[in-house]
């Protein structure tokens, strides 16, 4: 076949990024309580990401969840730094979150091997305070 039969492909033009809607199920304890949207959906998304162990569930991509297993057994300062970095990595995957700030990390008052981490997620729906307990 000669070169005259080769078709020149059109250049690939990146598609415009489409933001997904935030309307989702309102998840209660073992029950779905209707639908939520906006700020309420964002608060639920933050909690869900932080309570899902990354890489453990094949239904989720490798970018979803908070990896905490290998923090256990680390010294306090290292555990705190790892936890903050992983919270940031996990939550910044969501394009509705534009930043995280005001991290406060302290030893949990009810356990010498747990951290209490609080922070503010800056989202398209406003600032959302959040917290996470991490065993180390």
Alpha carbon distance 124, 69 (integer Å): 30
For CA atoms 71, 73, 74, 79, give the dihedral sign: positive
| Tens-digit pLDDT profile for residues 43-94 | 999 999 999 988 888 888 888 999 999 999 999 999 999 999 999 999 999 9
| Tens-digit pLDDT profile for residues 19-45 | 666 899 999 888 999 999 999 999 999
- CATH number of this structure's domain 22-135, picked from the four choices 3.10.450.40, 3.90.380.10, 3.30.360.10, 3.30.160.340: 3.10.450.40
Length of the chain (residues): 136
CB 90 within 8 A of CB 50: yes
């Amino acid at each position: 076949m000669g070169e005259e039969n080769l078709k020149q492909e059109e250049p690939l033009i990146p598609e415009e990024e489409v933001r997904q809607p935030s309307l989702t199920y309102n998840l209660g304890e073992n029950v779905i309580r209707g639908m939520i949207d906006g700020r309420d959906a964002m608060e639920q998304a933050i909690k869900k990401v932080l309570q899902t162990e990354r890489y453990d569930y094949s239904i989720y991509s490798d970018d979803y969840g908070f990896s905490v297993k290998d923090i256990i057994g680390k010294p306090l300062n290292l555990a705190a730094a790892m936890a903050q970095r992983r919270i940031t990595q996990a939550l910044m995957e969501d394009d509705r979150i534009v930043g995280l700030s005001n991290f406060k990390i302290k030893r949990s008052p009810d356990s010498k091997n747990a951290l209490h981490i609080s922070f503010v997620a800056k989202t398209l729906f406003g600032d959302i305070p959040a917290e996470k307990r991490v065993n180390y």
